[in-house]
Copies of this chain bind each other. A is one copy, B any other.
């Protein structure tokens, strides 16, 4: 089985880290491919970045479908740029990591808090929560102020701060699990989970495992209406190659 994980930003080192993170959890028979698209932002920190990152996601899915189809696709960014458009491009499952995390959290606990890298993405996260019908399970969105640099320089302290956030999510917000809405803490997910004593869920792992499950079941995205294939048509300017993706 082949699963393609698309990091929608163009920072290859992050792509490699995400692959390394997920590789540890896939089955021996699963081939996990991780890519960054050749176009788009180096990081995704706004709606602006998020919308523009969709192009790279589409590019990567279309390329695979033409050249070497995967059995499932994962959009490895919590904002899930281009997810619903991506579903139009293929009948294979395409999973976002926010949705995968929320579905998983809701099967393991009655409620959750999302730890978000950026304060400004709180509303974006709430919109995802509504989209997936999780508004009665969401207890809070809490921004971490833990940067990638913090984690690199002082991992123990970063873990301690993350555990403290989990504790607050439980005690002040009533959450019973925590979703990592930021890649930076994923490297230490297990340590945080062990210390915090509650499920700490990484959407990337959830999405990859759901892809494996769906692919084994032969499950396909519904093409009957909303996710039917887009019509070929003229595209202008720098996007001219997007006119006939399939």
Contacts from A to B (Cβ < 8 Å)? 10, 25, 27, 37-43, 45-52, 54-56, 58, 81-82, 84-85, 87-89, 93, 95, 99-100, 103-104, 106-111, 119-120, 122-124, 126-127, 130-137, 170, 174, 176-177, 197-199, 201, 205-206, 209-210, 212-214, 216-217, 219-222, 224-228, 230-231, 233-240, 242-243, 245
Contact = CB atoms under 8 A, between A and B. Distances in A.
A43 B234 CA distance: 8
B132 A133 contact: yes
A114 to B, nearest CB: 14
Nearest to A239: B39
A224 B212 contact: no
Contacts of A238: 39, 55, 238-239
A234 B9 CA distance: 10
A93 to B, nearest CB: 6
B133 A106 contact: yes
Given A176-B226, A199-B220, A219-B199, A58 B49 contact: no
A110 B123 contact: yes
Given A85-B51, A131-B127, A104 B214 contact: yes
A39 B239 CA distance: 6
A170 to B, nearest CB: 6
B48 A58 contact: yes
